[in-house]
Amino acid sequence: MKKLKDIPTFKSDEEEAEFWDTHDTTDYIDWSKAEQVMFTNLKPSTQSISLRLPVSLLSDLKVLANKNDVPYQSLMKVYLSERVEKEVS
């Protein structure tokens, strides 16, 4: 087993990013001891947008959302995400 190097102390995130961009992590970390973790409470970052919809489409979305007992904005995100994933695949 090779001797691991000490990870230096960094003055900023930028300095650390530059370091890892130019160095191999296997010289500093024994990845064979790594454990998989899940961050279940993380939420993806979001950005607010303004979207104009026909009144009838918005009404239909609200009816569908009400039937499913979810906010209509959440339903819109699910539908949009499913369609984008289908198109990208």
Total-model pTM: 0.51
**Span between the terminal Cα atoms of the chain, in Å:** 42
Average pLDDT over residues 22-49: 89
| Predicted confidence (pLDDT) at residue 32 exceeds the cutoff of 80 | yes
Instruction: Please compute Rg for the chain using Cα positions.
Output: 23
In whole numbers, what is the pLDDT of the chain averaged over residues? 92
| Predicted confidence (pLDDT) at residue 62 exceeds the cutoff of 90 | yes
| Predicted confidence (pLDDT) at residue 84 exceeds the cutoff of 80 | yes
The structure tokens listed for 59 are 């009404």
Confidence of residue 22 (pLDDT cuts 50, 70, 90): very high
Cα separation, 57 vs 2, in Å, equals 63
Tokens 């959440």 -> residue: 74
